[in-house]
Structure 1
Amino acid sequence: MEPLPYLRDIQLKREKIDSFSHYPFCIPAVKGLDKIDFSPEVTIFVGENGSGKSTLLEAIAVGMGFNAEGGTKNFNFSTRSTHSELYKSIRYNKSFRRYKDGFFLRAESFYNVSTHIDELDEAPGFGPPVIDSYGGVSLHQLSHGESFLSLMVERFGGKGLYILDEPEAALSPMRQLSVLSRMHQLVQDQSQFIIATHSPMIMAYPGALIYQIGPSGIHPVKYEETEHYAITKAFLNNPQPMLDELFVD
């Protein structure tokens, strides 16, 4: 049987929305949202800061049962309730195939996830140490980048749904390549990734379905058509003209 995505598509319940002039319905990622189909392997959202990538990804994660600040479905904590109610306005078309593993990674709140893991292990009678599933060492004892990579290598177990918001935030270029390698291993083990990123390296995953979020809505694009690819390539090929233009007196 051919593998199916755990999340096939989402649709905005536009008929239920009173106005698109208020947050979160006024941001490009939502205002132009109708239906989004997901790849069974890797789907990537790209767009400028403020386009709504993270808001959309958060809604997808919460709608699929994950904690708004990140973690697994078993994580139930909140340091500050700031997530939007967008997830209530979305229809989720799920596959009959159920994933066995899952995680929502938010770069901006991963510190809180690491703290929650430590707190669970400090609680009396909680059971086997949670940190054993993350490499056996408190994630606070690792650098930000090392903790991200440890999460993917040690905690992500395959046959899973992994929703990642800017996973490149703390990673060097070499570590981003390591993430691509680990993603490929997990995809081969029937895993589905949904990612928001600014990294041309992450979005280069072979065969990834890439959506560009902009003022005109959400549209599928080829890797080479993304602004991230074009600007990075132009700069690396010949940085001086860009620097001259930026530093005009």
Structure 2
Amino acid sequence: MESSITQYIRSIELDRKNIPTWSEYPFNLPAIKDLHKLSFHPKVTFIIGENGSGKSTVLESIAVAYGFNAEGGTKNFTFSTKPTHSDLKSYIKVVKGIKKPRNGFFLRAESFYNFATNLDDLDEEMSTEPRLIDYYGGRSLHEQSHGESFFALFQNKFGREGIYVLDEPEAALSPSRQMAMLSRMHDLVKEGSQFIIATHSPIIMAYPNAWIYQINEGFEKVNYEDTEHYQVMRAFLNNKEKMLNILLE
């Protein structure tokens, strides 16, 4: 399937001629050195790779260049607890489609606590009805487990015709909740939403007909069954005793 001009994010392009140096982070990452243009599926695109490969850095730059807060939330959130985002966002051009989304959210698993705190603080400061938390299920995200708060977000805040940039959403979800997330994603995709997701989860990246970019030296589009995540998990489950003997000897 070719990229559609009606999707919300069609592609990104790296402004290579103005990169200040290729020897410092994040520009020294192999994935960034190889990056020219990256196109996205109109519905679901996954970015996968080993820890430290640069997938979260790239995802963050996409979200911030599109207009989201670096620590997560909708475009209306501007809080900052500690400026940790990279300079990559300043050199990323987001190529948009002609259609504007009705909804959107940037989920960062590592800073979700900060987002939940900011949400509570804003409700306390404004004291208006409806409260902001009412759009997230009506119960403080801090009063729920990490997994429950993630799922409350998916169920209540994510809506039709939205652009959703998710960084490791599986971090707080059990396998069964990851499967429930797939179902929720599918409902939203049918309602015109687009997802760009960085993940390690073989369950989540199994979403059918998605594009999967695996980061090695650069971005390589791969089939689900060819991902290292799928192959390692399958090998472990099919040969548990043998794998444990190798790992624990």
RMSD between aligned residues: 1.2
Asked if 1:97 is matched to 2:107, the reply is no
Of residues 232-241 and 195-204 in structure 1, the stretch that sits farther from structure 2 once superposed is: 232-241
Partner residue, 2:67: 65
Q: Is the 8 A contact 2:212 2:223 kept in 1?
A: yes
Letter aligned with residue 111 of structure 1: Y
- Separation (CA, whole Å) in 1 of partners of 2:31 and 2:121: 35
- Separation (CA, whole Å) in 1 of partners of 2:34 and 2:143: 42
Partner residue, 2:243: 242
- Give structure 2 stretches of 5+ with no counterpart: none
State the percentage of identical aligned residues. 59
Within-5 A mapping of 1:51-130: 51-126=53-128, 128-130=130-132
Q: Is the 8 A contact 1:5 1:38 kept in 2?
A: no
- Separation (CA, whole Å) in 2 of partners of 1:148 and 1:101: 17
- Separation (CA, whole Å) in 1 of partners of 2:5 and 2:158: 19
- Give structure 1 stretches of 5+ with no counterpart: none
Q: Is the 8 A contact 1:134 1:150 kept in 2?
A: yes
Partner residue, 2:190: 188
- Separation (CA, whole Å) in 2 of partners of 1:70 and 1:209: 24
Letter aligned with residue 158 of structure 2: F
- Structure 1 residue 241: Cα displacement: 1.4
- Structure 1 residue 111: Cα displacement: 0.5
Asked if 1:12 is matched to 2:14, the reply is yes
Matched length: 246
TM-score by structure 2 length? 0.96
Partner residue, 1:139: 141
Partner residue, 2:41: 39
- Deviations along 1:72-102, one digit per CA (max 9) or x if unpaired, are 0000100101111111101111001000100
SS at match of 1:117: helix
Q: Is the 8 A contact 1:3 1:190 kept in 2?
A: no
After superposing on structure 2, the runs of 4+ consecutive aligned residues of structure 1 that deviate more than 4 Å are none
- Structure 1 residue 126: Cα displacement: 4.9
